[in-house]
Amino acid sequence: MKAITISHYGAPEVLTVRELPDPVAGAGEILLAVKAFGLNHAETYMRSGQWGEVAQVTGIEAAGVVAEDPSGRLAAGTPVVAIMGGMGRTRNGSYAELVTVPAGNVVPVDTTLEWTDLAAIPEVYATAWTALHDNLAIESGHTVLVRGATSALGQAAVNVAADLGAKVIATTRSAENTAFLENIGATEVLLDDGQLATQIRERAITVDSLLDLVGNSVLRDSVATVRTRGRVCQAGFLGGLNPVTDFAPIADLPSGVQLSFFGSFNFGTPEYPLSAVPIAALVAKATAGTYHAKPVRTFAFEEIVRAHEIMESGTAGGKMTVAVG
């Protein structure tokens, strides 16, 4: 099979298209013929070596068809999406024509979407849905702030939260993104200058929960932005992976504020079965246009280096996908 491999850890140029032996599905696994895959910041960390030793083939999500299911649960040719299950970390991932995935991380779908459009949905929408429901417990009428809203995950979170009836405050570093964020469901858009807590106090806004996709660089400010007994969930690291220096809960975490983390690498574990996420319903909403889930750009398989360059530069403006074949 044709696959994109990490020749050694480093810049986007280390990604190399080469031939590898076809994988074989073992017990509890499904072999997928990949039609398209989504691009995620996690893959830049894997490629660069920031997450230590990882698989030769990266890629944490895929859209395609079942090539073989040894259990007989899914027939060959069934359209599916797949997320995580060690892909890209402990096993070869989706940057390939074929990939084996734990059966619990594969979900059949029924949609008229093009493969490259379908590939834009699984990782970011499953993550957004889980963080908003499990970690933040949002309800209709809640005010939710999405920090880093112009990212692919941020846009998915704005879509999901607005569809649930929440008032969504979205942040961006550029005023040029205001109209776009309002169009996908944001009630209000703030320019993130690193001092959101001050802006929120000046506007006398009560924030019930905050989804932080910028990460450690703004954590102190994020926990100071929500109301007493409000919730903050960190689910991204757009601001970098450096740890929070000298974070002291007694000084930095307001009393009553609940701080949590969600990592989508948990999908498929007993604690976070993918069956608990309504993937089919999320895909249906994207198909119907309720979610603005279309990728901002699609690449050919051989354009992977350029795709990673754009993703790493932070100029993508949303989800990007790659067509296979």
Give pLDDT tens digits for 18-60: 999 999 999 999 999 999 999 999 999 999 999 999 999 999 9
- The stretch 304-318 carries a mean pLDDT of 95
Give pLDDT tens digits for 216-227: 999 999 999 999
Determine the pLDDT at residue 202: 96
Give pLDDT tens digits for 201-213: 999 999 999 999 9
Determine the pLDDT at residue 325: 75
Q: At what angle do helices 279-288 and 122-130 cross, to 10 degrees?
A: 110
Give pLDDT tens digits for 240-299: 889 999 999 999 999 999 999 999 999 999 999 999 999 999 999 999 999 999 999 999
Which one is predicted more confidently, 240 or 176? 176
Determine the pLDDT at residue 188: 97
Residue ranges in 98-233 assigned as alpha helix (H)? 115-118, 122-130, 152-163, 178-183, 196-202, 219-223
- Provide the token pair at 316: 């993508």
**Dihedral sign computed on CA atoms, order 221, 318, 121, 43:** negative
Q: Which domains does the chain have, with CATH numbers?
A: 2-120+294-323 (3.90.180.10), 123-265 (3.40.50.720)
Determine the pLDDT at residue 26: 96
Q: 184 with 159: CB under 8 angstroms?
A: yes
pTM of the entire structure?
Answer: 0.95
Q: Which residues contact 281 (CB under 8 A, 6 or more apart)?
A: none
At residue 270, what are phi and psi to the nearest 5 degrees? -60, -30
Q: 131 with 55: CB under 8 angstroms?
A: no
Mean pLDDT across the chain, nearest whole number?
96
C-alpha of 4 from chain center: 21
End-to-end CA distance of the chain: 11
Percentage of residues of the chain with pLDDT beyond 70: 100
Give pLDDT tens digits for 103-129: 999 999 999 999 999 999 999 999 999
